[in-house]
Amino acid sequence: MNGLPASTRQFIDELVRSTGADSPEEAIRGKARELIQKLEATFGCQMPVDVNVLASLQGIHGSNDLPIQSPDAELVPRSEGGVEMRVHPDRPETRQRFSIAHEITHTFFPDYEQKGWCRTDARFRNREDPDQYLEMLCDIGAAELLFPQPWFGNDAASVSDASGLVSLATTYHASREATVRRFVETATEAIAAVYFVWKLKPTQKKTIGRKDQMNLLGITPEDEVREALRLRIEYTIPSECFRSAGHYLPNDKSIESAGPIYEAALTGQPCDGECFLELGQSAGTYNIMAVPLWTEETQRGSKGENMVAAVLKPMDVRKPSKKRKTPEPGRSLFDDL
């Protein structure tokens, strides 16, 4: 590229051109699958995938230095040539594994040694921003590396309840949130991965918990906020079939403090069942597999309830009045990784 630093858009375009793929997503998935095939041919392939071996196969050098530009991991050029990976050792194992897989994916781009790369805040990915889009592509590549086909597909086919999802996460040494997302993304039926967090609805954020005014109950602003928290949809990842059917689950919609989703939040145990959910135009009865997620104390409900990842399968759901394009999810698949 003329010896000059390439723009992010150029990196993405060059990846597509060099692979002959129809899209950046297809190109990234193809490169990830090639690396898995190389691993299988060289060492065999057992689950969970050894991400350090994958890094070695890509010529990445290890380092004991802490990442400078990221709290998780970064890939930086070496003065003697090649690149080295710095991973923060204090992050949870599942997060480290995803970060390593994410950084490996950066090496799929031509001329990746031109600059350093670091895993950024994965909560928000905007496809219109080339830098964030490239990071999203690396998230996609990381999923292909951590949950490779056909192994993951074969294991996922036997999952029929929430406990099975937890076991699947254990098998692949991945977070529950990432496993649930991959489970849905590779499904052929109409299901959606829905992530529920404890939060206020948008209209309450400016009126509840204000320190400059007294509330009628005489409680502290912090307690007022905590009591008003409800388990609400943070984001949704639909399967292709779910998306094609026109179902749409609105962000910030709350659920009742009953049913398998709330029970998983309250007990910290995986829960299953059918339940009516009032979800706007997609209100109806769903088959639910609900998995509690590790939750920081400050992010819990008023009774100490957890956040939840749930797989929703429509059973008797109001048909959409018209099909609408499901918006791209605003956050990454692997926020807790």
Residues whose CB falls within 8 Å of the CB of residue 158, separated by 6 or more in sequence, listed in order: 164
On whether the CB atoms of residues 88 and 65 are closer than 8 A, the answer is no
Residues whose CB falls within 8 Å of the CB of residue 171, separated by 6 or more in sequence, listed in order: 47, 48, 155
Per-residue pLDDT, 127: 64
CATH 3.30.450.130 domain range(s) in the chain: 151-317
Identify residue 309 by its one-letter amino acid code: A
Helices of type H across the chain = 8-19, 24-43, 51-57, 93-106, 130-146, 151-156, 162-171, 176-185, 221-228, 240-244, 260-267
| Gap between the Cα atoms of 209 and 219, Å rounded | 10
Residue 118: its H or E element: strand 117-118
DSSP string, 31-60: HHHHHHHHHHHHH---SSP-HHHHHHHTTE
| Gap between the Cα atoms of 180 and 261, Å rounded | 14
pTM for the model: 0.85
Per-residue pLDDT, 1: 44
Q: What secondary structure letter does DSSP report for 5?
A: P
On whether the CB atoms of residues 173 and 97 are closer than 8 A, the answer is yes
Identify residue 138 by its one-letter amino acid code: C
Q: What is the CATH number of domain 8-146?
A: 1.10.10.2910
Closest CA to 77 of 106, 54, 52: 106
Residuewise pLDDT in 10s, the chain (337 residues)? 444 446 888 889 999 999 999 999 999 999 999 999 999 999 998 999 999 999 999 999 999 999 988 889 999 999 888 899 999 999 999 999 999 999 999 999 988 877 776 665 554 455 678 888 888 999 999 999 999 999 999 999 999 999 999 999 999 999 999 999 999 999 999 999 999 999 998 877 777 766 655 555 566 777 777 788 999 999 999 999 999 999 999 999 999 999 999 999 999 999 999 999 999 889 999 999 999 999 999 999 999 999 999 999 999 997 766 555 544 444 444 444 5
The CATH fold assigned to 151-317 is Beta-Lactamase (3.30.450)
Q: What secondary structure letter does DSSP report for 113?
A: G
Per-residue pLDDT, 210: 62
CATH 1.10.10.2910 domain range(s) in the chain: 8-146
On whether the CB atoms of residues 80 and 175 are closer than 8 A, the answer is no
Q: Is 231 helix (H, G, I), strand (E, B) or coil?
A: strand
Q: How many helices, marked H, and strands, marked E, lie in the chain?
A: 11, 9
